[in-house]
Every structure is written in structure tokens, then in C-alpha cells.
């Protein structure tokens, strides 16, 4: 790849000599792999770049001569302050392009990463600023990695699983530790990296959340969503009372009625159930269960429907105080 044509580019608001594209590739790779300033093993760096350990060793020694890294035999390399400035500068452009390519062009994470590796070298300060404004000043890449901010670098963040947020607490989503298919469904629900979500209710089975939309998810899924607690207080967050008496629709006996609290399924399954009428507040009455326990026939919003037991497990309901039994003579 050809070097940048300009003799200088701006790095952290001050001009510095242009680095070759090869050097930039090394610097940004080290920046991606750095963890709390610890040295990055050369074997890990070689795997990231797809280069041989010998060539990586030689380049790292050259980078040390330029004052960009500190090389520690048998430990690895870490960026100097100057190296960090260059790394943040390039990494910012890389992750801004990843956001654009994933959210607006629909590329996969791998495709967006490969293309961003090319675009990061050719992005001027003016273009980066315009791209940032167009995207709404994102804080995270599609993978939930922080985007360095001009003059600030990468802020330190205290992340925690969404499942550990208390009732009424809110958090900024940073990382989805789930499969790409599940992550795509969550992003479609407005729960991607960079989104704020508030816990509005809790049950033994899951959480009620309010973000771009209202939804319910299982505790297992919530444990795989990493958030940074925000300053939004309980008073500012829309609340739903905690419902310890919530049960799965699958355990409701024939003849019993219940109120739908939410659907913990996700993606097409959840959308299908909502389309069938299983939205919060709906009344549902179980009519009968097939001899082998599957499917279950019921009435919701005046319509007769049948659900597989696995689908009914994802619908959270609350039985009334009388146990959901119909009044005498109503059957």
C-alpha cells in the first residue's frame, strides 16, 4: 500500500511526521491488542498481522528506534506515549469506518474490519470529523470496542454484565458477547453497542428493559451483554414493578387465565409471538394441552392459537390472585 502523500498529518491536534502504511499497520495492531499497558506478545502480534515472527521482531526493533514502542525481549512490545498518540489517531478512523460499513452498508464484522484496514490510512482529519458527525458521534465500534476521542484517547470504562444492573438502573451497551445472529437481532431491537438501556422490571426468568423499544430478555442473555453503568437514576428511568410472581405460560393449567407480562424470546420467534397478540397486558386463557404435552391451545385477544411448549416457555405471565380460574358456569 502506498504511503500517504502528505508530509504531515495531525495526531492528537499536533502535527507529526507521516508514518508509512506498514508502520501504521503495526501501531494500530498493537493499539487494538493492548490491555492496561501490558506488553503485547510478539506471537500475538504476528497472528494479528499475519506475518512471520521473524519479520515482526525486525519491525518492532525499528519501531523502537523511532521511539514508537518499547521492546522487551521474551515479553513483547508496548506503545510509548508517542506510539499511543499515533495508535489512537489511526484506530479512531478504523472504528468509525466499521460503524459506517456495518450500520449503513450492511457488511459483516469481518468484511467491515478488512475494508476499514484500507480506509483508515486514507482518511483525512476533515473526512474523519464529517464521518463522526454523520454517525452521530458514536462511542463504540460494532464489536463494542471504544472509539478513541480527539485529544482524549480511549477512556477507561468499568463494564459489568447487564444482568447485574439493579431495578431502575441504566447502562450504556459496550459489548455483545453472543453469536453474530443473536447480536444482529439485538441490534435490530435497538440494543447494539452505543445504545442506552434501562432495567424497568425483574422476574425470576429475566429482565424487562426499556431502550429504543421495550422488551424482555432472559437472565442468561443479559449476562452476555456488557454495559457501562450510566448516571441516569431510577427516577429518570421508566419503571415496571418487580414481578416475582411471574411464571412461564407453559406452566399455566388448562382452564386458567393470566396476564401477559412480556416475551423473553428473541428475533423472529419473539416477533411472531408479538404479532400473534402476546404483548404486555394481553389476557390469555389456556384451553387444553395435547396428550403428549405439545402443542398447547389457548385464546389470546379473542383468537384461538396453538403454541409449542418451547414457545410458551418464552412468554412470561402473571396469574391473578384467584389462580386464574374462571367463574362458575363460564366454561
What's the Cα-to-Cα distance from 229 to each of 149, 155, 170, 189, 235, rounded to whole Å?
20, 14, 6, 20, 15
**Residue 100 pLDDT > 80, yes or no?**
yes
Q: Where in the chain is CATH 2.30.30.90?
A: 160-229, 247-318
Q: What is the mean pLDDT of the chain?
A: 78
Q: Which CA distances in Å does 61 have to 56, 76, 83, 91?
A: 9, 11, 14, 22
Question: Residue 239: its pLDDT value, please?
Answer: 41
- Percent of the chain whose predicted confidence (pLDDT) is above 90: 11
Match 428511568 to its residue by C-alpha cell.
Answer: 237
pLDDT tens, position by position, 251-280: 888 999 988 887 775 567 777 788 788 888
Structure confidence at residue 15 (pLDDT): 37
Who has greater pLDDT, 168 or 77? 77
C-alpha–C-alpha distance, residues 125 and 141, integer Å: 19
User: What local confidence, expressed as pLDDT, does residue 267 receive?
Assistant: 61
pLDDT at 11 over 90: no
Strands 225-229 and 170-176, sheet pairing: antiparallel
Q: Which fold has domain 247-318?
A: SH3 type barrels. (2.30.30)
- Of 39-53, 106-120, 163-177, the least confident: 163-177
* Confidence class for position 236, pLDDT limits 50, 70, 90: very low
pLDDT, one tens digit per residue, over 184-234 is 788 777 788 778 888 887 777 788 888 777 778 888 888 888 888 876 443
| Structure confidence by residue, pLDDT tens digits, 14-61 | 434 477 888 888 988 888 888 767 888 988 888 888 889 899 989 999
160-229 belongs to CATH 1.10.3720.10:
no
Indicate the class that CATH gives domain 1-154: mainly alpha
More confident residue, 115 or 35: 115
pLDDT at 115 over 90: yes
Is 120:93 a contact under the CB 8 Å cutoff? yes
- % of the chain residues with pLDDT over 70: 82
Residue 245 pLDDT: 63
Region 57-67: what's the mean pLDDT? 90
Confidence of residue 327 (pLDDT cuts 50, 70, 90): very low
Instruction: Note the pLDDT of residue 266.
Output: 55
Amino acid at each position: 500500500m502506498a504511503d500517504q502523500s502528505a508530509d504531515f498529518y495531525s495526531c492528537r491536534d499536533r502535527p507529526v511526521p507521516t508514518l508509512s502504511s506498514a508502520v501504521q499497520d503495526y501501531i494500530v495492531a498493537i493499539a487494538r491488542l493492548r490491555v492496561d499497558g501490558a506488553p503485547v506478545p510478539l506471537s500475538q502480534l504476528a497472528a494479528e498481522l499475519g506475518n512471520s515472527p521473524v519479520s515482526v521482531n525486525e519491525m518492532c526493533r525499528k519501531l523502537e528506534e523511532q521511539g514508537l514502542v518499547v521492546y522487551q525481549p521474551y515479553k513483547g512490545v508496548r506503545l510509548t506515549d508517542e506510539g499511543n498518540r499515533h495508535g489512537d489517531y489511526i484506530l479512531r478512523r478504523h472504528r468509525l469506518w466499521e460503524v459506517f460499513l456495518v450500520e449503513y452498508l450492511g457488511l459483516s464484522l469481518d468484511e467491515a474490519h478488512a475494508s476499514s484496514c484500507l480506509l483508515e490510512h486514507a482518511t483525512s482529519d476533515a473526512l474523519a470529523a464529517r464521518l463522526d458527525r454523520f454517525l452521530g458521534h458514536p462511542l463504540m465500534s460494532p464489536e463494542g470496542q471504544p472509539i478513541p476521542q480527539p485529544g482524549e484517547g480511549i477512556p477507561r470504562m468499568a463494564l459489568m454484565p447487564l444482568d447485574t444492573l439493579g431495578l431502575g438502573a441504566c447502562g450504556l451497551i459496550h459489548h455483545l458477547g453472543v453469536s453474530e445472529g443473536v447480536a444482529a437481532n439485538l441490534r435490530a431491537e435497538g440494543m447494539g453497542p452505543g445504545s442506552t438501556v434501562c432495567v424497568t422490571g425483574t422476574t425470576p426468568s429475566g429482565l424487562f428493559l426499556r431502550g429504543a423499544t421495550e422488551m424482555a430478555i432472559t437472565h442468561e442473555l443479559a449476562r452476555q451483554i456488557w454495559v457501562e453503568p450510566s448516571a441516569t437514576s431510577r427516577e429518570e428511568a421508566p419503571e415496571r414493578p418487580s414481578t416475582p410472581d411471574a411464571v412461564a405460560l407453559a406452566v399455566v393449567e388448562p382452564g386458567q387465565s393470566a396476564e401477559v407480562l412480556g416475551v423473553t424470546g428473541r428475533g423472529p420467534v419473539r416477533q411472531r409471538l408479538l404479532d400473534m397478540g402476546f404483548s404486555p397486558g394481553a389476557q390469555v386463557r389456556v384451553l387444553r394441552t395435547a396428550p403428549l404435552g405439545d402443542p398447547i391451545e389457548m385464546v389470546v385477544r379473542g383468537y384461538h392459537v396453538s403454541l409449542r411448549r418451547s414457545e410458551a416457555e418464552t412468554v412470561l405471565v402473571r396469574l391473578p390472585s384467584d389462580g386464574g380460574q374462571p367463574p362458575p358456569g363460564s366454561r
